[in-house]
Structure formats: C-alpha cells, structure tokens
C-alpha cells in the first residue's frame, strides 16, 4: 500500500501511537510527541492519535484546564494521575503525551450588578462571585442555581 508523508508546520504537532524502536520493534501502548516544523512517514503499525493538531494559542484572559493521565513532571512540579492544573495565557501550548486538555477557559467579565455561582469540586461548597472579572480555578466549575418556576416567569418579563 501507499503511505502518505506527514508534514507539520511550526504551529502544529501530532502524537504517534505504538511507535517502532530503533530496531524496528513496535512499542505497543507507547506514545511519542512530534512537534513541527518537520516531515516523516508513518512506519508499519504506527498511527496518529487525533491526526495533525494545531498549537493551542491563549490570549490574555484565557487558560487551559489540564489533567494528568499518568505521573508527569513539568518545570519541577510533579503531577500525579488525575491532578488538575491550569496554563494561563498569553502563551502557546503543546500538551505532553501524559497530559490531556479538559477544556479551554475564558475569564468571565461581570459588571457591578452581575454575579455567578462557583462550586469547588473538592469540597462541594458553592459561593458567589459578584462585580469583577473572574477566571475559574482548576478545582472550580460554574454552578447553576435552580429557581422556582414562578421566579423564572418573573425574570422573563
């Protein structure tokens, strides 16, 4: 069969699944991160996880929520499997093979009379944030307060 060349520009990356070692033996279950700018052919048994992907570009008010798939050390900080942390912009980011991106977050702008409910997922405590721009922390999520139907109807008027 024909194997197409894989070409990455300087703003792309890919992850090769089940790569071959120097002797041509498959390393089943292993992953290799390849950053552009480069080109290569996939060897027999190798495949790309999620194909060719673009570098994540974060603005001033953006962040990426990350979770460790396995033990991972970054800039001297050790992350255990399941740990969550965030990378804040402005930045370009390429996730390591041990890291998964949970979501991209933006700061939530709030005026003086606006607010949101924020739930801490480790303790379950819910608190309100009012009147300032707010970026959720790695262990927080937006929480929706359910209102009685009569209150919902009044808000719609």
The answer to whether residues 31 and 20 touch, using CB atoms and an 8 Å cutoff, is no
Rg (CA), the chain: 21
pLDDT of residue 53: 96
Classify each residue of 3-25 as buried b or exposed e, where b means 16 or more C-beta atoms within 10 Å of its C-beta: eeebebeeebbbbbbbbbeeeee
pTM of the entire predicted model: 0.82
Q: What does the pLDDT look like over 83-142, one tens digit per residue?
A: 999 999 999 999 999 999 999 999 999 999 999 999 999 999 999 999 999 999 999 999
Helix (H, G, I), strand (E, B) or coil at 110: coil
pLDDT of 1 > 80? The answer is no
pLDDT of residue 75: 85
How far is C-alpha 33 from the geometric centre of its chain's CA atoms? 16
pLDDT band at 157 (very low <50, low <70, confident <90, very high): confident
Alpha carbon distances (Å) from 33 to 14, 22, 42, 95: 6, 16, 13, 9
pLDDT of residue 2: 85
Q: What does the pLDDT look like over 37-94, one tens digit per residue?
A: 999 999 999 999 999 999 999 999 999 999 999 999 988 899 999 999 999 999 999 9
Helix (H, G, I), strand (E, B) or coil at 119: strand
In terms of DSSP bridges, do strands 77-79 and 72-74 run parallel, antiparallel, or are they unpaired?
A: antiparallel
Beta bridge partners of 17: 31, 47
How far is C-alpha 23 from the geometric centre of its chain's CA atoms? 34
């Amino acid at each position: 069969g024909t194997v197409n060349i894989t070409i990455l520009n300087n703003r792309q990356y890919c992850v090769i699944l089940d790569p071959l070692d120097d002797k041509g033996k498959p390393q089943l279950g292993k992953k290799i991160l390849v950053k552009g700018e480069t080109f290569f052919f996939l060897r027999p048994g190798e495949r790309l996880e999620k194909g060719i992907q673009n570098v994540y570009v974060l603005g001033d008010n953006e962040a990426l929520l990350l979770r460790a798939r396995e033990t991972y050390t970054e800039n001297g900080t050790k992350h255990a499997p399941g740990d969550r942390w965030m990378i804040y912009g402005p930045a370009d980011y390429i996730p390591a093979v041990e890291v998964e991106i949970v979501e991209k977050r933006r700061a939530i702008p709030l005026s003086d009379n606006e607010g949101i409910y924020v739930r801490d997922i480790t303790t379950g405590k819910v608190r309100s944030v009012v009147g300032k721009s707010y970026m959720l922390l790695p262990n927080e999520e937006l929480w929706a307060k359910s209102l009685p139907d009569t209150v919902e109807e009044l808000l719609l008027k």
